[in-house]
């Protein structure tokens, strides 16, 4: 009798385990991303233009602690950079704790245990190389898409969130082992996107020219996010937020989208 | 007697060979470079602003044939690109023949036999990858520095002439096997250099910001060449030419130089 109950319990545990694994992607795991063009926006203090969207994001995901990833900062002042972001997040008055990833003895273990990470801007090449050096690329990909770890990125942090850093504006000041990035979304982002100045006499390529060159070789759509915009991704729904229009480039056309536009179609591969 | 003469001839040939090889670097081989910021300059037709300097360069080097390297052109219209450059060079009225490297069955043999090559602008990543794919990087380096093959580059073609493409403005739309380039000069160039627009409300990095980030990681000087300028290198003498001031960045300072400035110190390693 005792033996039968024992087996019964094992069967019940096995059933629950299989059931929960199979249903996780549908019922529990929701991709949670906030991909900012920049934290600095003309006319605003740092992160204040995005504040209402970020408060909603933190509340919805019950974020009590953010691990800030400062590695895009080329000068290595990770403490100063983390403090600046912690101060900005403190203005949300959510009592969110912010810790720099560089302060952990083991970055891999820190990311494994993280509830939410925020990757800041700087140089995309420097950032991506560091993520590869620390063996964090595959881990962050899995934690976001399989465990639902919340992800916030700005500028270079939004670049690396996409399939590759191939539409960065940064100079290639260091050689990363690949341009492939975290692949949290199947398209590319161009942060700090800016339309060409029609009065300019400069003959160098415009941002649009450069993205068109990208599309001669690559197929993925490129979302040009001007400063003052972000893409909010809640599972399979993507919405443009902010105070400016974004420009979406495909191989065949480019099209402007207003804030609150539904861009969920970009998430389909 | 016949045998003795035979050996004598061999000795004479050997002596001449050794003599010519040993004296070549001192008496005959002179590094000959024209590194243009761009071929297009506001207010000028293509290559007309640089025309007097290029005529002098072609005459001084007795250039009768230019092999044009069109691989930076992302859309692959190498014929059209070569024709455009051939038409521009035709205005010099020197009867210089211009052939696209893509029209040769064996690019390596073509470069081995070339008197002068001209690498055109486009995307520096695409260009450098192609030069590696075709095994031309080391060959061009040797032919310019050891044989005195004349080299003309514009924009991406000036980027790849330097130690690396790390100060390009281009997007990394393709992954090259290295950022190391032809290393014809021991510094970096930023073509299409432009000072920051002080009235801009854009928060993205300025060109100067990006070069400063380069210098946090890298030591080499960076010559910011605005459109309308070029660097003429005659052996170990480097002179700024054109209609605008260039800006030279080192790790500790940046300084403007007027046209006709002697920048030979940049050639010292």
pLDDT tens for each residue of A51-67: 999 999 999 999 999 99
Interface check A7 vs B, CB under 8 A: no
Residue A114 contacts residue A99 (beta carbons within 8 Å): no
Q: Looking at the predicted structure, is the pLDDT value of residue A18 above 80?
A: no
Q: How far is CA A172 from CA A152, A208, B124, B221, in A?
A: 24, 19, 11, 16
Residue of B41, B165, B213, B215 for testing the chain A interface, max A β-carbons within 10 Å: B213
d(C-alpha B43, C-alpha A91), whole Å: 51
The overall average pLDDT reported for chain A is 91
- To the query of whether residue B197 is one of the catalytic residues in this protein, the response is no
Chain A residue closest in CA terms to B45: A203
Cα(A144)–Cα(B216) distance, rounded to whole angstroms? Answer: 32
Phi and psi angles of residue A56, each rounded to the nearest 5 degrees, phi first: -65, -40
Rounded Cα gap, residues B145 and B267, in angstroms: 13
Contact A177, A134 (CB under 8 A): no
Catalytic pick among B155, B158, B164, B215: B155
Q: According to the 3-state scheme, what is the secondary structure of chain B?
A: CHHHHHHHHHHHHHHHHHHHHHHHHHHHCCCEEEEECCCCCCCCCCCCCCHHHHHHHHHHCCCCEEEEECCCCCCCCHHHHHHHHHHHHHCCCCCCEEEEHHHCCCHHHHHHHCCEEEECCCCHHHHHHHHHHCCCHHHHHHHHHHHCCEEEEECHHHHCCCCECCCCCCCCCCCCCCCECCCCCCCEEECCCCCCCCCCCCCCCCHHHHHHHHHHHCCCCEEECCCCEEEEEECCEEEEEECCCEEEECCCCEEEECCCCECHHHHCC
Cα separations (Å) of B51 from A202, B35, B89, B190, B215?
A: 20, 13, 8, 21, 34
* A40: closest CA of chain B, how far (Å): 6
What pLDDT is stored for residue B115 in this prediction? Answer: 97
Residue A218 lies in a domain: no
Look at A227 and B204 and tell me if their CB atoms are within 8 Å.
yes
Measured distance CA(B37)–CA(A147) in Å, rounded: 49
Q: CA of A260 to nearest chain B CA: how many angstroms apart?
A: 23
Domains identified in chain B, total number: 1
Of the two residues A115 and B201, the one the predictor is more confident about is A115
CA dist A118 and B231 (Å) reads 44
Instruction: Please report whether residue B5 resides in a domain.
Output: no
CATH number of the domain residue A176 falls in: 3.40.50.880
Q: How much is the pLDDT for B129?
A: 98
Contact call for A217 and B174, based on CB within 8 A: yes
pLDDT in tens, A169-186: 999 999 999 999 999 999
User: Average of pLDDT values for A111-136?
Assistant: 98
What pLDDT score was predicted for residue A201?
A: 83
B46 touches chain A (CB under 8 A): no
Domain that holds residue A153: 28-185+226-244+262-267
Q: Is B42 a catalytic residue?
A: no
How deeply is B128 buried, as exposed, middle or buried, from its count of CB atoms within 10 A (0-12, 13-18, 19+)? buried
Q: Is B132 on the interface with A (CB under 8 A)?
A: no
Across the interface, whether the CB atoms of B171 and A126 are under 8 A apart is answered no
Put simply, the answer to whether A42 touches B168 (Cβ < 8 Å) is no
**Considering the domain boundaries, does residue B204 fall inside one?**
yes
**Residue scoring higher pLDDT (A1 or B43):** B43
Answer whether residue A9 shows pLDDT above 70: no
B13 in any annotated domain: no
Q: Average pLDDT by consecutive 10-residue portion of chain B (269 residues)?
A: 46 45 54 96 94 97 98 97 98 97 98 98 98 98 97 98 97 98 98 85 86 96 97 97 97 97 95
Q: What's the mean pLDDT in A260-268?
A: 97
Contacts of B10 (CB under 8 A, 6+ apart): none
Contact B204 A175 (CB under 8 A): no
What is the C-alpha R_g of chain A? 20
The shortest C-alpha distance from A43 to chain B (Å) reads 9
Higher-confidence position of A1 and B102: B102
Cβ neighbours of B192 in A, within 8 Å? 202-204
Report yes or no on A201 lying in a domain. no
Q: Does a structural domain hold residue B130?
A: yes
How close does chain B come to A70, measured CA to CA in Å? Answer: 15
Residue A210 falls inside a structural domain: no
* B135 belongs to a structural domain: yes
Say if residues A69 and A51 touch (Cβ distance below 8 Å): no
Catalogue the E-assigned strands of chain A. Answer: 32-36, 65-69, 97-100, 116-119, 150-154, 188-190, 222-224, 229-234, 237-242, 246-249, 254-257
| Integer Cα distance of B87 and B96 in angstroms | 10
Q: What is the pTM of this model?
A: 0.88
pLDDT at B201: 83
Q: Which of A38, A155, A158, A164 is catalytic?
A: A155
- For residue range A208-229, what is the model confidence (pLDDT) as tens digits? 999 999 999 999 999 999 999 9
C-alpha pair distances (Å), B264 with each of A78, B136, B162, B240, B261: 39, 27, 15, 10, 9
CB contact under 8 A, B168 and A172: yes
Q: Please answer yes or no on whether A42 and B204 come within 8 Å at the CB atom.
A: no
Say yes or no: ipTM exceeds 0.85.
Answer: yes
């Amino acid at each position: 009798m005792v033996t039968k109950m024992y087996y019964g319990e094992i069967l019940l545990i096995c059933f629950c385990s299989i059931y929960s694994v199979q249903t996780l992607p549908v019922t529990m795991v929701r991709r949670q991303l906030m991909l900012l063009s920049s934290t600095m926006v003309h006319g605003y203090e740092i992160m204040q233009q995005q504040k209402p969207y970020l408060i909603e994001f933190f509340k919805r995901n019950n974020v009590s602690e953010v691990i800030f990833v400062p590695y895009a900062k080329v000068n290595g002042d990770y403490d100063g950079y983390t403090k600046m972001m912690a101060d900005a997040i403190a203005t949300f008055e959510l009592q969110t704790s912010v810790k720099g990833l560089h302060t952990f003895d083991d970055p891999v273990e820190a990311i494994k245990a993280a509830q939410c990470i925020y990757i800041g801007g700087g140089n995309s090449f420097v950032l991506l190389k560091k993520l590869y050096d620390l063996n964090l690329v595959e881990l962050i990909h899995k934690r976001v898409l399989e465990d639902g770890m919340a992800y916030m990125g700005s500028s270079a942090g939004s670049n690396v969130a996409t399939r590759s850093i191939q539409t960065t504006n940064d100079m290639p000041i260091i050689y990363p082992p690949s341009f492939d990035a975290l692949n949290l979304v199947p398209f590319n982002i161009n942060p700090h996107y800016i339309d060409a100045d029609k009065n300019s006499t400069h003959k160098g390529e415009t941002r649009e020219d450069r993205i068109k060159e990208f599309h001669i070789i690559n197929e993925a759509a490129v979302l040009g996010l001007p400063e003052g915009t972000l893409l909010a991704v809640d599972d399979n729904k993507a919405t443009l937020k902010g105070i400016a229009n974004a420009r979406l480039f495909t191989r065949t056309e480019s099209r402007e989208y207003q804030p609150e536009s539904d861009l969920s179609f970009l998430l389909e591969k």
